[in-house]
Structure 1
Amino acid sequence: MLVNNEQKIEKSVIFQKMKFLSRLSALLFILVLLGINSFALPASAATSKNNSVLVSLVPPTSKPAILDPTFDPTKVDLGITPTGWSNSDDQTIDLNPPIPYQQILSETALSGFTGSQMSPKYPQDLEVLKKELKQRQVKISEPWVGTLFTEGKKEETLKEFKKQIAFMKEMKGKKIVVAELGYAVHQKKCVDPLVNRPHFTDEQWSDLITGLNQLGAIAQENRMQLVYHPHIGTGVEDLADIDRLMSGTNPETVKLLLDTGHLYYAGVDPLTVTKKYANRIKHVHLKNIRQSELDESKKTGRSFLDSIRAGIFTVPGDSAGAIDFQPILQELAKANYQGWLMVEAEQDPNKAEPLKYALMARKYLRNQIGF
């Protein structure tokens, strides 16, 4: 009898232990699931649309967007150009040893951006490039095409343009960024880009407009969109230049890239351009300016590249920046802008840590637009 009671007690103890372990296992399982979900699907996921486990370092926010109305998150993508890590115009603006392209792409994703402009640093082998982009869920937002119509180099321009069309087809992209670089001075050392910029003759303007209309038609035939980038140190820099280019080109095939930094550098109010051409702006570079450095560049005649080294550019969200982006973004949202919003700050990574500024810009945009 005593033996039977002892056996019953022992079985009861074993049963209780098993029950406890079962509950503990269930609890642990639930916690693991919650942990995975909170890691894989936060509002700040760099690729949350695809339920990726890649996450941004930018925390989610429960606050409503500052903009009202704001952008449609299903029709607007956020990217950042690689020029904060390494400069395309002067590749000596870099760290020593140079920043590897893997770091640029990884920090782009960590910052919560899904797009990057093509860079000379990125793999030229398309299969390698696709693999590196896919691992980080990052896309190529645009190439850069320098046209030379005003120098009479139409065939060379067409050849390069068609090459970039083919490239963007491989990248599944839709935008082709162009700028006329005939007689441009922005890459020249010790040359003031504002004073020494080219001024085109009527004949050169005619060649440029005819050429851009041809490129726009080619882009449209390939289901892509040409956007023109007014740029410091080139023949299309200020508001008068932009007006002449917009009035002369086909509005259906030649669109405008809004680069806030280059406009401000040239003495043009980016908000004025946004309001005037809101329905024609189809690509955006959000670039900020440090007023003190701009004033010094104008005073001393500093070159474009030396101005970059001095820190003339920064990102949206930097309190040292002079541009108020909120009304610009609001005008774009009111116009139902769709496409890329690309943060761009050409900076020296020795002075401005790239990831820090990428995160600064992403947090600012999240507060403004709500995603």
Structure 2
Amino acid sequence: MSIVRLGINPLTWTNDDMPSLGGDTPLETCLSEGREAGFSGFELGNKFPRDPDVLGPILQRHDLSLVSGWYSSELLTRSAEEEIEAIKPHLHLLKSLGAKAMVFCEVSHCVHGRRDVPLSHSPSMSEAQWQTFIPRLNQVADYCLEQGVQIAYHHHLGTVIETEAEVDRLMAEAAPSVGLLLDSGHLVGAGGDPIAVQQKYAERIVHVHCKDIRREVLEDARNRDLSFLDGVLNGMFTVPGDGFIDYITLFKGLRDSGYEGWVVVEAEQDPAVAHPLTYARLGCDNLKRFCAEAELTVTE
């Protein structure tokens, strides 16, 4: 029996890549509304304290767990030893508050935070860069796993590992200590198939992000060669069940593989257009329904 917990990312309320979106929304609002919507945990965002002695009591007050938190890696421009030193405060925070996976993404040359750069200009790694990147990533992943937190590599639009083919190479060459974060929306946005990826790498998946896609907005973004942030502003992303991704089949695959961990709504929208509590409730309700149909057991 596969058992999952339902979490949410604060992007529903306030955006890290474009801080003006929900910039005035306090952390307390995010946490209280997320709990009201039915989630039992939160990922980190830019408004979260980074001291576990401060953040822990805040989460406890809302009866929430720390799910995970994004880490921006720069392994193409610094050594594994330098990255390990840089990662230690983040790792300490996750470990102290019981998170078992770290959302990890290489951001060297990334364009997803630049509204003036279209997604067609996403970076890619040369053969020499792959040969540099993989050994460094393995060293950092081994260190984190020794500390009790596994890297969950986040393939992400606008970064050096975006497409299904790039995920394939990462999984083929990276050590077993490098887990995979399966993000349905980012794979579909990059032309990939999250169901196929789940089936190929079921044993490597340690974290799941559920970001649905509005097909017509994605097609418009590609046709007009828009940036990631313009896609967000136009409503390309939404909560699971509000787009066209087949989550029931995806979740049946997670069930069959024995996945146990967090299933997280991470669906950035403009909170002035997409009312955060309304969409948080919709996302949680839909996840519960999909899990029930797929026979994934949800626990607090």
TM-score normalised by structure 2 residue count: 0.94
1:19 corresponds to: none
Instruction: Measure the CA separation in 2 of the matches of 1:175 and 1:199.
Output: 25
Matched, 1:93 2:39: no
**1:130 to partner: Cα distance:** 1.5
Instruction: Measure the CA separation in 2 of the matches of 1:77 and 1:146.
Output: 25
Is the contact made by 1:145 and 1:160 (CA closer than 8 Å) also made in structure 2? no
| Alpha-carbon spacing, 1:259–1:143, altered in 2? closer, same or farther (3 Å) | same
**1:158 to partner: Cα distance:** 2.2
Is the contact made by 1:275 and 1:331 (CA closer than 8 Å) also made in structure 2? yes
| Alpha-carbon spacing, 1:351–1:112, altered in 2? closer, same or farther (3 Å) | same
2:190 corresponds to: 266
2:31 corresponds to: 105
Matched, 1:240 2:165: yes
Any stretches of 5+ residues in structure 2 without a counterpart? 293-297
Q: Secondary structure at 1:213's aligned position in 2?
A: helix
Any stretches of 5+ residues in structure 1 without a counterpart? 1-69
Instruction: Measure the CA separation in 2 of the matches of 1:92 and 1:209.
Output: 35
**1:123 to partner: Cα distance:** 2.7
2:203 corresponds to: 279
TM-score normalised by structure 1 residue count: 0.76
| Alpha-carbon spacing, 1:124–1:216, altered in 2? closer, same or farther (3 Å) | closer
1:39 corresponds to: none
Instruction: Measure the CA separation in 1 of the matches of 2:147 and 2:50.
Output: 22
1:290 corresponds to: 214
Instruction: Measure the CA separation in 2 of the matches of 1:211 and 1:125.
Output: 27
Q: Which has the higher contact order (CA 8 A, sep 6+)?
A: 2
User: Which of 171, 192, 204 is residue 118 of structure 2 equivalent to?
Assistant: 192
**1:177 to partner: Cα distance:** 1.3
Instruction: Measure the CA separation in 1 of the matches of 2:140 and 2:208.
Output: 20
Moved more, 171-180 or 98-107: 171-180
1:309 corresponds to: 233
Amino acid at match of 1:347: Q
Matched, 1:167 2:98: no
Instruction: Measure the CA separation in 1 of the matches of 2:289 and 2:110.
Output: 38
Aligned residue pair count = 293
1:257 corresponds to: 181
Instruction: Measure the CA separation in 1 of the matches of 2:33 and 2:222.
Output: 33
Instruction: Measure the CA separation in 1 of the matches of 2:49 and 2:205.
Output: 30
Amino acid at match of 2:111: V
| Bigger Rg, structure 1 or 2 | 1
Instruction: Measure the CA separation in 2 of the matches of 1:229 and 1:266.
Output: 13
**1:183 to partner: Cα distance:** 0.7
Instruction: Measure the CA separation in 1 of the matches of 2:218 and 2:86.
Output: 33
Amino acid at match of 1:140: L
**1:152 to partner: Cα distance:** 3.8
1:110-189, aligned counterparts within 5 Å?
110-152=36-78, 154-189=80-115
1:6 corresponds to: none
What percentage of residue pairs aligned between the two structures are identical? Answer: 37
| Alpha-carbon spacing, 1:153–1:183, altered in 2? closer, same or farther (3 Å) | farther
User: Which of 324, 335, 339 is residue 246 of structure 2 equivalent to?
Assistant: 324
